[in-house]
């Protein structure tokens, strides 16, 4: 089980970001309650409409959908029911991740359709093999606390994508997995796969090793699949991660404050549905919202606004005392270059200082379309530096080192003092980033760029890393489940 460093404000527990006052967060909350109660949410699922109605919400029905108006007391009561902390259980118990307030972990971006091949360096469509290979690389990296489906398996039959993705990821990592489902039926099949790897469905209910991602549609719409997957997750006892993808100026207000309100309303409406379906169902407050760059018509995930929005939403999650999974570290660059490094560092650091439980974005390029192995490795190096930075400076009597300062005195040399030798291991250690002299660098690396060395590292991991082993019968059982699901879908066509 992993308890990762805290970020903090006004303590020696770490550095933090004072983004908003309590009064300012209250203003977002009250504006959200007014939107939910007076404007409402468009809901396309009949099952969800019945649950909202049974929970005390006002329903106005139209052909094919309903507008749900949620009283403020229902919102606040349901948010209170959601668990305050979550342990994201992993197939390998050593990788269980504890999402307590201000503990900051990192993971990759999710859902890319392209990959830069680490061997050829060519851009191509991602496959199921890539989905598993990238999970294997992330399993090796201690800096990655949970697993995302980094790329979609674009070479599998329609409707089976999430099932194939989960089979590939389970086979290549022992970490907790975040993954959306193509349908409620697909989610139940995914639970079967996870149960095979967990010792049965009863064990999976006790230790759910994956979380179901759901995405409201901005503005203020809960599509059928989002609702029905939440309801199925409640039946299975699998937690949900709720991730709107608002584009300020496109699908939400052109002002960032207005985007925060509608984003918050979309998350809270899903939490209400989840808690009305099963009181106490784990819910993770998530975001990948950003701005629509109106010059190019693209979602700008490398922009400073991306970091600003997601850091603020991490604070809102803390306001509701909910675990958070927010964007940070994404890039609009097309290759793993200087731009991608700068953009990663800006937004990842902002979300980390805000105390987000999981900051996701490592490895991604091109507005979320492309994943790159070298960038995953380089980002992991930067994550290690960010984790060190947010720990802050410890101001204990021992760390103030007054006795040592007196001993060395004016004009003395600390480098030869025993205190320096004993303390040197506490310094940050660069692995991929280079701190050597130029001559030593040339001798050690033959002048290879950091990108080239990052690709080499990724290839070495793929060739040599062995993830936590599956139960003996699991690979065969999972393959059978997937094939039977494919046949089921074909029979229904």
Q: Is the pLDDT of residue 7 over 80?
A: no
How many Å apart are CA 199 and CA 413, to the nearest integer? Answer: 60
pLDDT, position 71: 98
pLDDT band at 10 (very low <50, low <70, confident <90, very high): very low
First to last CA, the chain: 44
Q: Is the pLDDT of residue 1 over 70?
A: no
Q: Average pLDDT for residues 350-375, to the nearest whole number?
A: 97
pLDDT band at 235 (very low <50, low <70, confident <90, very high): very high
How many Å apart are CA 106 and CA 219, to the nearest integer? Answer: 28
Interval 317-337: pLDDT, tens = 999 999 999 999 999 999 999
pLDDT, position 305: 97
Interval 169-192: pLDDT, tens = 999 999 999 999 999 999 999 999
Query: Over the chain, what is the mean pLDDT?
Result: 95
pLDDT band at 423 (very low <50, low <70, confident <90, very high): confident
Q: Is the pLDDT of residue 5 over 90?
A: no
DSSP helix/strand/coil, 247: strand
pLDDT, position 394: 86
Q: Is the pLDDT of residue 93 over 80?
A: yes
Give the 3-state DSSP-derived string for 79-133, with helices as H, strands as E and coil as C: HHHCCCCEEECCCCHHHCEEECCCECEEEECCCECEEECCCCCCEEECCHHHHHH
- What backbone phi and psi angles, to 5 degrees, belong to 247? -120, 105
Share of the chain above pLDDT 90, in %: 88
Number of H helices, E strands in the chain: 18, 21
Q: Average pLDDT for residues 254-262, to the nearest whole number?
A: 97
Burial of 464 (0-12, 13-18, 19+ CB in 10 A): exposed
Q: Is the pLDDT of residue 361 over 50?
A: yes
pLDDT, position 468: 97
Q: Global pTM? A: 0.94
How many Å apart are CA 136 and CA 114, to the nearest integer? Answer: 18
26: which 2 tokens?
């209250």
pLDDT, position 416: 86
Going from the C-alpha of 192 to that of each of 52, 170, 180, 348, 490, the distances in angstroms are: 28, 12, 15, 35, 19
How many Å apart are CA 450 and CA 462, to the nearest integer? Answer: 18
pLDDT, position 8: 61
Least confident range from 198-202, 393-397, 449-453, 458-462: namely: 393-397
The better pLDDT of the pair 205, 425 is held by 205
How many Å apart are CA 91 and CA 403, to the nearest integer? Answer: 48
Q: Vertex 350, ends 132 and 331: CA angle to 5°?
A: 45
147: which 2 tokens?
């697993």
């Amino acid at each position: 089980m992993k308890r990762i460093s805290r970020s903090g404000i006004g303590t020696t527990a770490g550095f933090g970001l004072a983004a908003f006052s309590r009064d300012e967060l209250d203003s977002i909350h009250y504006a959200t309650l007014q939107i939910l109660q007076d404007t409402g949410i468009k809901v396309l699922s009949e099952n969800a409409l019945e649950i909202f109605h049974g929970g005390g919400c006002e329903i106005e029905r139209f052909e094919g959908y309903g507008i749900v108006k949620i009283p403020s007391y229902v919102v606040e009561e349901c948010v209170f029911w959601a668990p305050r902390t979550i342990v994201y259980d992993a197939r390998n118990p050593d990788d269980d991740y504890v999402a307590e307030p201000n503990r900051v972990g990192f993971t990759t971006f999710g859902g890319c359709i392209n990959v830069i091949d680490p061997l050829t360096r060519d851009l191509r469509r991602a496959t199921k093999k890539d989905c598993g290979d990238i999970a294997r690389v992330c399993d090796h990296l201690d800096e990655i606390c949970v697993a995302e489906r980094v790329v979609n398996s674009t070479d599998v039959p329609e409707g089976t994508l999430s099932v194939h993705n989960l089979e590939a990821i389970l086979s290549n990592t022992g970490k907790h997995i975040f993954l959306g489902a193509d349908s409620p039926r697909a989610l139940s099949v995914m639970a079967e796969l996870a149960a095979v790897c967990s010792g049965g469905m009863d064990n999976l209910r006790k230790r759910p090793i994956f979380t179901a991602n759901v995405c409201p549609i901005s503005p203020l719409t809960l599509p059928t699949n989002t609702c029905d997957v939440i309801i199925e997750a409640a039946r299975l006892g699998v937690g949900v991660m709720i991730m709107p993808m608002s584009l300020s100026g496109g699908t939400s207000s052109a002002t960032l404050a207005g985007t925060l309100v509608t984003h918050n309303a979309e998350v809270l409406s899903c939490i209400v549905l989840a808690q009305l379906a099963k009181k106490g169902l784990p819910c993770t407050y998530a975001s990948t919202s950003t701005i629509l760059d109106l010059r190019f018509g693209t979602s700008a995930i490398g922009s400073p606004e991306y970091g600003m929005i997601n850091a603020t939403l991490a604070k809102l999650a803390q306001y509701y005392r909910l675990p958070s999974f927010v964007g940070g570290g994404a890039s609009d660059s097309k290759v793993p270059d200087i731009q991608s490094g700068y953009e990663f560092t800006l937004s990842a650091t902002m979300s980390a200082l805000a105390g987000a439980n999981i900051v996701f974005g490592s490895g991604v390029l091109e507005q979320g379309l492309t994943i790159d192995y070298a960038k995953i490795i380089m980002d992991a190096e930067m994550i290690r530096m960010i984790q060190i930075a947010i720990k802050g400076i410890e101001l204990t009597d021992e760390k103030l080192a007054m006795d040592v300062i007196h001993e060395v005195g004016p004009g003395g040399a600390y480098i030869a003092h025993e205190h320096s030798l004993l303390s040197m291991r506490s310094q940050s250690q660069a692995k991929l980033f280079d701190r050597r002299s130029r001559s030593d660098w040339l001798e050690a690396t033959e002048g290879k760029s950091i990108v080239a060395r990052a690709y080499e590292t990724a290839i070495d991991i793929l060739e040599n890393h062995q993830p936590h082993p599956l139960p003996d019968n699991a690979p065969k059982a999972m393959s059978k489940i997937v094939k039977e699901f494919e046949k089921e879908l074909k029979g229904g066509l």
